[in-house]
């Protein structure tokens, strides 16, 4: 099938490459010339396991192409995906200007029936706005071309995006058009094997499903972080509590890890946008407000522990930091807890020596050259001249540390374990003070 895809960000590029992998003829359109030039050379501008070989393979076999030229790509497509960004506006609502600009472009160039698919995370009601924007352009051209708009939210996770896209848990199709649904059932057939994954619903419910899923996951995390703060004060260990509650299948073991707070491009933005949507209809969502507030405080949790350890005297101290990315297997630092920790440490006069397997360049780009940030190429290099070590991203590389080496290198051996990776007793046995999240011994 001929598929055109607008936007070569995370969602667009992964979706395009996976659709090409299934034998479709996919054209990705973007407005960023530099990015397109890199993609044409087979360079993927983000770190995502498995994506680069997939892009290269499908470019080589002619299934995947990249262009700035929207008109021919729109005119020849059977299905057009909109996967451009919806960054938060100043007031926290999702900025739809890119989505609607693409809709207008589609309206200007379609020649035959197409299914327009919204993959971007968009506020409830956007499918109707996209439909109106396309219709307006058709009317301006004096053209009558049939089309449908379907809401088909994406649920992939960074770091596991290719796997999630090739083997989705569910495929949500928000549309009441039998014609559009038939086209998308055919397109998604290779992703819908062994058992039925397609859920059909109306467009508004599909749009809300995306926000509800992310808000539920963010709530689980904030709930556990709140439990961790309670456990810490009551002398209990959140890790034991986690195992205890996760064994109830109604609760489950996933997404109940207390830590240094959630980051990334999705949870913070989507929880905020959902709150805005509710407020727009005169409803104040109390749970969502608490989820955000807990997360905000949690991002400074490690800082609070470090500050307490040094009795508030951080000036001239050096903190070694393992991890910069908002989670492992990505170089993404959007809303990363590491940024909140580093900024608080810098404000207090401390220096940070950090290592991350992928996000070093991104940190340099965001933070710029500064004397109080040293990015090291090797995990143990961060320890040179450092007082203590904080761990904020759970990369596999940090899971089995050489404790003796850490103890010998640090001036005041202490580990601040922002992801509860280590056994407190083993760390203390090695002669290192241990601080975790909600582990009954930090306060
Ligand atoms: C999230 C969702 O998991 C995806 O299903 C969704 O498609 C995506 O947002 C999106 O809307 O595009 P992602 O942001 O890539 O995916 O990352 P997650 O793996 O969900 O992690 C988010 C944050 O929560 C990370 O900072 C992670 O460290 C934190 N987290 C996760 C916890 O603190 N505790 C947990 O138990 C799980």
Q: What is the ipTM of this complex?
A: 0.95
Distance 14 CA to ligand 1 centre (A): 17
Structural domains of the chain in order of their starting residue, each with its CATH number? 2-200 (3.40.50.720), 202-443 (3.40.50.720)
The 10s digit of each residue's pLDDT in 340-389 is 999 999 999 999 999 999 999 999 999 999 999 999 999 999 999 999 99
> Across the chain, what does the average pLDDT equal?
96
CB count in 10 Å sphere of residue 291: 26
Nearest CA among 266, 190, 272, 203 for reference residue 9? 266
266 has catalytic annotation: yes
Look at residue 148 and tell me whether its pLDDT is greater than 70: yes
The 10s digit of each residue's pLDDT in 388-427 is 999 999 999 999 999 999 999 999 999 999 999 999 999 9
The reported pTM is 0.94
The 10s digit of each residue's pLDDT in 65-89 is 999 999 999 999 999 999 999 988 8
The 10s digit of each residue's pLDDT in 220-239 is 999 999 999 999 999 999 99
Q: Which residue puts its alpha carbon closest to atom 2 of ligand 1?
A: 157
Residues in the ligand 1 pocket, defined by CB under 6 Å:
121, 154-158, 214, 217, 221, 255-257, 259, 262-264, 266-267, 326-327
Q: Which residue puts its alpha carbon closest to atom 23 of ligand 1?
A: 262
Q: Which of 9, 120, 123, 158 to mutate to test the pocket of ligand 1 (most atoms within 8 A of CB)?
A: 158
Closest atom of ligand 1 to 156 CA is 7
The reported pLDDT for the residue numbered 92 is: 75
Look at residue 442 and tell me whether its pLDDT is greater than 60: no
Q: 441: pLDDT confidence band, cut at 50, 70 and 90?
A: low
């Amino acid at each position: 099938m001929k598929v055109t895809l607008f936007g070569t960000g995370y969602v667009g590029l992964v979706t395009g490459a996976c659709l090409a992998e299934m034998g479709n003829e996919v054209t990705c359109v973007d407005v960023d010339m530099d990015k397109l030039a890199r993609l044409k050379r087979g360079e993927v501008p983000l770190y995502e396991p498995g994506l680069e070989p997939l892009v290269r393979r499908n470019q080589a076999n002619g299934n995947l192409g990249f262009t700035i030229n929207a008109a021919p790509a729109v005119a020849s497509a059977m299905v057009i995906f909109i996967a451009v960004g919806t960054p938060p506006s100043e007031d926290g609502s999702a900025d739809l200007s890119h989505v609607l600009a693409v809709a207008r472009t589609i309206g200007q160039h379609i020649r035959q029936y197409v299914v327009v698919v919204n993959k971007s995370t968009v506020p409830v009601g956007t499918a109707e706005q996209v439909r109106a924007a396309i219709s307006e352009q058709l009317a301006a051209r004096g053209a009558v071309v049939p089309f449908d708009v379907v809401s088909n939210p994406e649920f992939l996770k960074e770091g596991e995006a290719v796997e999630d896209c090739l083997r989705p848990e569910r495929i949500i199709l928000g549309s009441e058009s039998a014609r559009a649904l038939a086209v998308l059932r055919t397109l998604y057939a290779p992703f819908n094997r062994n058992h039925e994954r397609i859920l059909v619903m109306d467009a508004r419910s599909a749009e809300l499903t995306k926000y509800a899923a992310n808000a539920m996951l963010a709530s689980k995390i904030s709930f556990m972080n709140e439990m961790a703060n309670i456990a810490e004060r009551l002398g209990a260990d959140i890790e034991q509590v986690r195992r205890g509650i996760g064994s109830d299948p109604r609760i489950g073991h996933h997404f109940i890890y207390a830590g240094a707070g959630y980051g990334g491009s999705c949870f913070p933005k989507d929880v905020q946008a959902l709150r805005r949507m509710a407020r727009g209809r005169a409803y104040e969502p109390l749970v969502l407000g608490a989820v955000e507030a807990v997360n905000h405080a949690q991002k400074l949790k490690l800082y609070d522990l470090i500050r307490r350890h040094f009795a508030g005297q951080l000036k001239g101290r050096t903190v070694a930091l393992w991890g910069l990315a908002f989670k492992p297997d990505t170089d993404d630092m959007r809303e990363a807890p590491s940024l909140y920790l580093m900024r608080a440490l810098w404000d207090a006069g401390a220096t940070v020596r950090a290592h991350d397997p992928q996000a070093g360049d991104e940190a340099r780009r965001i933070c710029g050259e500064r004397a109080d940030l040293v990015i090291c190429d090797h995990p143990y290099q961060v320890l040179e001249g450092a007082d203590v070590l904080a761990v904020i991203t759970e990369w596999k590389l940090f899971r089995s540390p050489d404790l003796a080496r850490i103890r010998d290198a640090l001036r005041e051996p202490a580990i601040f374990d922002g992801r509860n990776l280590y056994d407190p007793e083993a760390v203390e046995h090695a002669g290192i003070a241990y601080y975790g999240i909600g582990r009954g011994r930090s306060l």
